[in-house]
Structure 1
Amino acid sequence: MSQLRTVQVLGGGAGSSARVSSLAAGLVARGVQVTVCAPAGSGRAHGLPATGARFVAVPRRSDPAAVAALRTACTGADIVHAHGLHAAVRAGLALSGQGIPLVVTWHTRAHAEGARGRLLRLLERRAARAAAVVLGTSWELVDRARRRGARDARLALAAIPTGRFRGTPDDGKTRAELGAVGRPLLVSVAQHGHDTLLDAARRWDALDPVPLLAVVGEGPRAGAVRRRIAAEGLPAVLAGGSDGIGDLLAAADIAVLSGRGEGGSLLAQEALRLGVPLVAARADGLPELAGDAAEFVPYGDAGALAGAVVRLLDDPGRRERLAESGRAKAASWPTEDEAIAHVLSVYDELAQPLTAGRA
């Protein structure tokens, strides 16, 4: 049988890009020919050149020129695998009429209301119905794909790419650089719903010592966080992009998630793996991910979020129990090898009729 040829399509999100780097390396090691299509610059940022995959820069837009470029890159593939909603919509357009099976992974759920919410639901339907198989990283996402008309929706075996950890960082140096010496360090990410996080930070300002909140993120949402921190003098700092999130978490006392969307599951997974106590809103399948290894509060409730963090800061024993539970939970997750083997089994199932014809 000839070599299986796959194209991985990314939208540029940090969490999905890290997982695709791991997937691409694993597939190449198993003899699969891999092409990764992503926005220019994202390949180097997430280590794609080191995977052995071919990288093709494709705009993240859905205009005719961008779709045509993606269509050209996918020509001759046995399987196209799109990661994220917008990548899935573009891939569906590019593959129209080509007869190439499309696999879509929903790593996280997008959130919007009003007119944007209606557009989001339309995009979800298009992505779900264009796919031969939708893989969701939580049962919540699997059920959502089924409601949107997916022919075949399954739970993905999701593992954290171990390459995201940089060994043992200098915790003292990290804390000193952030200005967190002699005070608790809290780490979060800029997400939809970040106002709840900053409302909670305003309440922590009354503590002694005052915790420092380090927020990881880039782009417009991070810009909004930065402006509010400056305008209100909040005890918080922006801490750059997601590439250094492992180092920050290794130095943190507590990880905090108030929002929804890209970046949340990545921070939660890495926090549990590193044994960092986690306080999170009940959103995006996080209760399913963490179980009793985290403290959960209602989404949008700044008082509950602030209170949960304060109680943990005052209870070292509870923090240690959460740390132990987090490490135990993470140890039960699939390995990278298992996650890659699962994806490859889906590819083989879909591509078998195609590759048999070329044998």
Structure 2
Amino acid sequence: MRIAQVLTASEGGIGRHVADVTPRLVDLGHRVAIYCPRRTAAAQHFDRVGVPVRPLAALPLARGADVVHAHGYKAISLAAPLTRTLGPPLVGTWHNAVLAAGRAGQVGRALQRLSARAADLTLGASSDLVDLAAGLGARRARLGPVSAPATLAWLAYPPDEQREHTRAELGAGSARVVLSVGRLAAQKNYPMLLDVAARFRDRPGEAAVVFWVVGEGPERPALEARIAAEGLPVRLLGARDDVVALRYAADAFLLTSHWEARALVAQEALQHGLPFVGTAVGGVPELVGDAGLLVPPGDAEAAAAALTRVLGDPALADRLRTAGRARADAWPDGDAVALALELAYREVTRR
């Protein structure tokens, strides 16, 4: 089968997902071509896969595919004209919600409506997206799980030594470390993380707690200014290629997002066995279940209380580590996701 994968942005989870599933589809005997912006650094994901990578300007070539799979509302909208009138069937995956207000929100919701009606099959990364697509007129909509790509577990030292080395490198000392990973953007709600950190700033007689944030983005200047002004125990570590080592060095993981589908960073934290505290938004509750402590979005007081429990109760932390690994073991892996996509492609081509 000739498969065209279409993306309008390849940074973050969407790019990693397509880069992970593409070689698996090739191994199943399919011919895959990827259409994405070449200007993005994340396009290197696809270069390493060894399949044709074409610019979006060449998208008309996708008309010759047996099926087109577009990821995200913009990509689905771009691919829709190619698949009308005897064109190939279109599968669209919804990875994100529309959170913006004003004009940007209006445009985003219009693209959602167009995407729902244009695709022969809509896959949602979380159940709330599936329900939304169905409500907007999708012909068929169902859950399309996105696996967490396997992370390279290469470490410079054995795990215990790696923990001590990384903590020493970043000056953690005897402090308890709370790790967060994600782009410094509005969706991730890092101001809430700073509110949480403020509650740990002055605790006489208690062990110090420091927050490490991995990622870059437009909100960095504002976050840096507030951290400095309030003396918060938060370090913005920027983009790092040693997140696996940072997980070994951390004592808990915190997710403060306004919304997530199947957040890859949450999946990776649970796979690693890192005690998880996060906001109960989007697909996070169905992803995490009882393997983490979930709090209302924006509720810094509840998040601080949950972290206090995790960091102060070794038995609870051990239970969450075990439950996280067990839950992760039950998720479909990359091969299972590729097989599910293959079945979806055959389904729409038969129709």
TM-score, normalised relative to structure 1? 0.86
Give yes or no for the alignment of 1:214 onto 2:201. no
Measured in 2, the distance between the counterparts of 1:94 and 1:351 equals 15
Question: 1:357 matched to which residue of 2?
Answer: none
Aligned residues of 1:217 and 1:239 also touching (Cα < 8 A):
yes
The answer (yes or no) to whether the contact 2:192–2:256 under 8 Å persists in 1 is yes
Question: Does 2:1 correspond to 1:9?
Answer: no
2-structure distance, mates of 1:281, 1:180: 26
Separation in 2 of the partners of 1:328 and 1:29?
28
Distance 1:96 1:241, change over 3 A: farther
* 2:281 partner SS: coil
Equivalent residue letter for 1:320: D
Q: Take 2:328 and 2:131, find their aligned partners in 1: how far apart are those partners?
A: 24
Equivalent residues of 1:129, 1:151 under 8 A apart = yes
The one of 22, 26, 29 equivalent to 2:27 is 29
Which of 152, 158, 177 is the equivalent residue of 1:185?
Answer: 177
8 Å CA contact 2:80–2:118 kept in 1: the answer is yes
**Residues 34, 52 of structure 2: 8 Å contact kept:** yes
Q: Which residue of 1 aligns with 2:251?
A: 253
Equivalent runs, 1:52-63 vs 2, <5 Å: 52-58=50-56
Further displaced range: 8-17 or 140-149? 8-17
Q: Is the 8 A contact 2:6 2:79 kept in 1?
A: no
Q: SS of 1:239's equivalent?
A: strand
Cα displacement (A) at 1:4 = 2.5
2:197 to 174, 198, 201: 201
Structure 1 residue 351: Cα displacement: 2.4
Q: CA RMSD in A?
A: 2.4
- The answer to whether the Cα contact below 8 Å between 2:19 and 2:45 also exists between their aligned partners in 1 is yes
Residue number among 172, 179, 183 corresponding to 2:164 in the alignment: 172
Determine the structure 2 residue equivalent to 1:61.
Answer: none
The correspondence for 1:141, drawn from 129, 132, 136, is 129
Distance in 2 between the 1:179 and 1:41 partners?
36
CA contact (8 A) 2:176 2:208 kept: yes
Tell me, yes or no, if the aligned pair for 1:139 and 1:155 is still in contact at 8 Å.
yes
User: Is 1:8–1:20's contact at 8 Å kept on the other side of the alignment?
Assistant: no
AA of the residue aligned to 2:45: G
The within-5 A match list for 1:226-305 is: 226-241=224-239, 244-261=242-259, 265-305=263-303
Task: Quote how far apart the aligned CAs of 1:70 are.
Answer: 4.7
CA apart distance, 1:230:
3.4
Could you say what secondary structure the match of 2:212 adopts?
strand
In 2: Cα distance, 1:218 partner to 1:112 partner: 20
Q: Are the aligned partners of 2:93 and 2:125 in contact in 1 as well (CA < 8 Å)?
A: yes
For the structure 1 residues 56 and 328, does the alpha-carbon distance in structure 2 shift closer, same or farther, using more than 3 Å as the test? same
Aligned length: 340
Instruction: Tell me what 1:104 maps to.
Output: 92
Which deviates further from its counterpart, 256-265 or 228-237?
A: 256-265
Secondary structure of the residue aligned to 1:195 is: helix
Counterpart CA distance in 2 for 1:86 and 1:241 is 26
Q: Paired residue for 2:145, among 157, 166, 175?
A: 157
Unaligned runs of 5+ in 2: 157-161
Structure 2 CA distance for partners of 1:159 and 1:242, relative to 1, 3 Å: farther
Deviation at 1:45, TM superposition (A): 6.0
Over the matched positions of the two proteins, sequence identity in percent amounts to 37
Q: What SS does structure 1 have at the residue aligned with 2:65?
A: coil
Q: Which structure 2 residues correspond to residues 127-138 of structure 1 after superposition, within 5 A?
A: 127-138=115-126
The 3 A distance-change label for structure 1 pair 45 and 114 is closer
> Which residue of the partner structure matches residue 75 of structure 2?
87
TM-score, normalized by length of structure 2? 0.88
Distance 1:155 1:263, change over 3 A: closer
Q: State how far apart, in whole Å, the 2-side matches of 1:130 and 1:178 are.
A: 49
Q: Would you say the 8 A contact 1:14–1:242 is kept in 2?
A: no
CA 1:44–1:280: 2 relative to 1, 3 Å: closer
The amino acid that maps onto 2:154 is G
Residue 102 of structure 1: how far off its partner (Å): 1.7
Contact 1:71/1:95 (<8 A) preserved: no
